Amino acid sequence: MATADVTFGFSCGRSKLDEYLVQRAASNNVAGWSATSVVLEGLRVVGFVTTVPAAVEAKLVRKVIRNLPGYPAPVLLLARMGANLEDRGRGVGPLLMDVAYRGAVELADRFGCVGLLTHAKAAGEGQPDARPYYAGLGFAVVEEPATEGDPTTMFLTMAKVREKLAAG
């Protein structure tokens, strides 16, 4: 993402995500605090995805990766993602996920990464629960929300990430 990208008027239906994109994503990129990539139509942003390398307790992902050592497990955190409401159904989502898959492979090949982790948001602001969306992509639930309405922690192994990329 570049500071010249036009985010004015962007709405994915979730105000916190919109605010993040408009107010913080570009400066966080410059600061190196996270990496936001965008799908553009001309200069206009129609979708964005924010990723951050992270480490999680091995026991969180041991349910889906056998023989994982007990050290903190390196993951790529799919921290935020949104497609502009008016641009839904135009293939923006798959392009955003492609960025995340490629980022995970790059991280795995250079530094180690066991998969993609996300905190799928519960239904809110007229948007559906994101959990079925990620489940449809092959993500497994690795931690249920402590309280109803909190996000669900979901995980896609590197093997599945590579399968997705190989399938095109």
Residue 83 found at the interface with ligand COA (CB under 6 A): yes
Residue 151 CA to residue 17 CA, distance in Å, equals 14
Tokens of 165: 């990329």
Binding segment for ligand COA (CB under 6 A), chosen from 21-29, 59-67, 104-112, 119-127, is 119-127
Sheet containing 73-83: which strands, arranged edge to edge? 35-41, 44-56, 73-83, 115-120, 152-157, 140-143
Site size toward ligand COA (CB under 6 A) is 22
Per CB under 6 A, contacts with ligand COA among 22-41 are none
Q: Which is nearer to ligand COA, 133 or 145 (CB)?
A: 133
Q: Which is nearer to ligand COA, 29 or 127 (CB)?
A: 127
Element holding 140 (H helix, E strand)? strand 140-143
Query: Would strands 115-120 and 73-83 be described as parallel, antiparallel, or unpaired?
Result: parallel
Residue 117 found at the interface with ligand COA (CB under 6 A): no
Query: Which residues bind to ligand COA, rule: CB under 6 A?
Result: 12-14, 17, 81-83, 88-89, 91-94, 118, 120-121, 127-130, 132-133
